[in-house]
Amino acid sequence: MNLIEEFNAYRAKMNEKIMAEDNKVIKRFFNLDTNTYAEGELDIKTKEMIGLACSMVLRCDDCIKYHLGKSHEAGLKKEEIFEVFSIALVIGGSIVIPHLRRAVEYWEQLDSQ
């Protein structure tokens, strides 16, 4: 199983378990997250780029993978992704570099599918 399959399988499995608990606050938060990234005044590509940059600065590898996947689905190109990486690096500083490495590896796998 590659990085993408492993991440998506784990995420789906755990989200199913979380949602099965029928916790109203958790369900509302998940719904808020979903609706935040829906098409609106900002297009989906822009929203995913913002989400990716924020995730990198916050150093959340799962979030980075998620937004990379969504960015790829939205049709972002490698050059656009690297501009997002550069913004995250400038804002977050050198602590972002390990996450940048893993993000590049994940993007390469997305692009090779």
Predicted local confidence at residue 1, as pLDDT: 75
Predicted local confidence at residue 16, as pLDDT: 97
Q: What is the pLDDT of residues 63-80, one digit of tens each?
A: 999 999 999 999 999 999
HEC profile for 40-64?
CCCCHHHHHHHHHHHHHHHCCHHHH
Contact 69, 31 (CB under 8 A): no
Q: Binning pLDDT at 50, 70 and 90, where does residue 50 land?
A: very high
For range 80-88, the mean pLDDT: 98
Predicted local confidence at residue 87, as pLDDT: 98
* Neighbour count for residue 93 (Cβ, 10 Å): 10
Residue 95 has pLDDT above 90, yes or no: yes
User: CA distances (Å), 92 to each of 11, 21, 31, in order?
Assistant: 26, 35, 28
Contact 45, 76 (CB under 8 A): yes
Please compute, for residue 2, the number of CA atoms within 13 A of its CA located in the half-sphere on the CB side: 11
Q: What is the DSSP letter of 22?
A: -
Predicted local confidence at residue 112, as pLDDT: 94
Helices (H), the chain: 3-20, 24-36, 44-58, 61-73, 78-92, 97-112
